[in-house]
Structure 1
Amino acid sequence: MTDHLKHIGVADPQRIEKYTLRTEAENDILKIYYKKEKGDLFHRSLKVKFPRLQKQLLVDSGGAKRYENTSEIAPNLLHVLDELDKITSKETEQVDVKEKILKDLRHLERVVNNKIKEIERDLDKLSSR
């Protein structure tokens, strides 16, 4: 599942927290950020340059047959990004589940507290009779 990541030097894909991708000149720059470990002041990261594929595209289908130079993302980078998306979206899903559980717990806490107050009021009414 992480063959492409291992190929670019990612030893422990499970420690990946996030990544960024930018284009600079004729390269795509991928920066992978790892989760901080105890004692680390800064996030560790890995920076990898991928040369962009150079192509010539026909831009005028009329009689001129003019071509224009263009570049596009390298196929191996697409595979790496696919693996990164799977890893980072899994992390996001786990965080979302945790947040949902905490939200549900807080809601339940409010409901129970309100019910306790209601029962105490009913008891007070019975005591005053």
Structure 2
Amino acid sequence: MTAQYPTLEQMGITSFDNISKYRLRREARADVLKVYYHRPAGSLLSRSKKFTFARPQSGVPVEFQKTAQWHQLEDTSPVLRQALVELHQLLKPDAPAEDDTTRDSRQQLLEDLEHMERVMKAKLEELRRQIAALK
């Protein structure tokens, strides 16, 4: 099966049968790919792997970078593009029905919201500790 997904293998992904989904998001100057796995309860293996693909820096003025033409010029990593193709091929047979897609989207939004709440709570606690240390 490794010959079928060489890019994923190069990235260190070997449990192809355990991949449940993937998410791609854009951060400031990078694309972040997160691959999620099916894991049994109590498993010590990670439930996800995160890969960051930096976008190239350029000497283009900031004003131009905010235009639609700039976003068309920006290019993603060829490794990322190939990994997305392979992940799509890998997960294609498991394409959820329309009702499942809506449920999955709702569940993902709720998970994202809970994650954001945990991150914000941790950051606020850290800031409070820093303020207390300044007294």
> Structure 1 length as normaliser, TM-score?
0.55
Please state which structure has a larger fraction of its residues in helix.
2
Residue 18 of structure 1 deviates from its aligned partner by 0.2
User: 1:3 and 1:49 mapped to 2: Cα distance?
Assistant: 18
> Aligned pair in 2 of structure 1 residues 19, 68: CA closer, same or farther (>3 Å)?
closer
Aligned-residue RMSD, C-alpha: 3.0
The match for 1:18 among 11, 18, 21 is 21
Q: Is this contact kept in 2: 1:56–1:68, CA < 8 A?
A: no
Aligned partner of 1:45: which letter?
S
User: 1:85 and 1:29 mapped to 2: Cα distance?
Assistant: 16
Aligned length: 85
Please show how residues 101-120 of structure 1 align to structure 2 within 5 Å: none
User: Unaligned stretches of 5+ in structure 1?
Assistant: 58-66, 97-129
Residue 19 of structure 1 deviates from its aligned partner by 0.2
Residue 38 of structure 1 deviates from its aligned partner by 4.0
User: 2:70 and 2:33 mapped to 1: Cα distance?
Assistant: 26
User: Unaligned stretches of 5+ in structure 2?
Assistant: 61-68, 98-135
- Structure showing greater radius of gyration is 1
The answer to whether structure 1 residue 74 and structure 2 residue 77 are counterparts is yes
Please state which structure has a larger fraction of its residues in strand.
1
> Structure 2 length as normaliser, TM-score?
0.53
Aligned partner of 2:79: which letter?
N
Aligned partner of 1:79: which letter?
Q
2:48 corresponds in structure 1 to 45
